[in-house]
A = this chain, B = another copy of it.
């Protein structure tokens, strides 16, 4: 990727800000648009971006070689619809949204034919939001999934993988929108539903003094941005409900093995769990 390239980040929150910092560290020129004046001011004052605007400034948009849309999922398609007349021909767009099927196809459907959109999911985050909490170190040891469709060229897929590598992700893979959403329903959305349920199922505030690391680890993600995650859950409802039902079924089986004190079958489940979990340790 040419280091003269100009990136435009649309939505300068935790993720947009972390992209901006990582790209600036590699000497790229970085612009940003965010409706929050304080975010833009903070980013300019701290050298996180080179130029910024609080509205969809046509000049900033037209100067971009690459546009990273880091908005909430439901806003992505409309932002492109409203602003694509300003894109320079040949612009490459990408995103950071956590669900793909409901965004990617409708975006590619309305997109100008002389620019290209390649979806990507940076699987990183923090429990805090906003550009002030942004930190490119969250990408280290994390996964970056490129999510192409048959409308994407191999050059642009390669560009997107290079972007993941420039940002500092340690593992870069490729999935279709459908496979991506199924995987995410299980490894990310289901786990957030579990963490929230654990915190809300009972008045447990008095237990904070007696928790071990296991409870803290399980519920770290229970500090959750309710607006973003509600969007993500609803936009991937079918896949998420399928995984939730699978989990409920299995959890109930284990419950019943405990109730009936069926040691052999319970131990068999635990052995399978131990064996499988070993595969998930970071390599």
Which A residues form the contact surface with B (CB < 8 A)? 123-125, 142-143, 145, 171, 173, 175, 180, 183-184, 186-188, 190-202, 204-205, 207-224, 226-227, 229-230, 233-234, 237, 240-241, 243-252, 254-255, 258-259, 261, 263, 266-267, 269-274, 276-282
Contact = CB atoms under 8 A, between A and B. Distances in A.
A124 B212 contact: yes
A221 B230 contact: no
A138 to B, nearest CB: 9
Contact of A218 (B180, B183, B194, B254): B194
A220 B217 contact: yes
B195 A246 contact: no
B244 A251 contact: yes
Contact of A247 (B191, B201, B246): B201
Contact of A215 (B191, B200, B237, B271): B191
Nearest to A233: B258
A211 B143 contact: yes
Q: Name the residue among A188, A207, A274, A280 with the largest chain B CB count within 10 angstroms.
A: A280
A246 B200 CA distance: 10
A224 B270 contact: yes
A82 B119 CA distance: 67
Given A197-B254, A202-B246, A250-B201, A216 B273 contact: no
B187 A210 contact: yes
B263 A252 contact: no
Contacts of A125: 212
Given A193-B254, A197-B250, A214-B192, A259 B237 contact: yes
Contact of A123 (B145, B193, B210, B218): B210
A224 B241 CA distance: 28
Contacts of A216: 280-282
Contacts of A142: 212-213
B237 A258 contact: yes
A226 to B, nearest CB: 4
A35 B129 CA distance: 53
A133 to B, nearest CB: 15
Given A183-B207, A194-B194, A217 B218 contact: yes
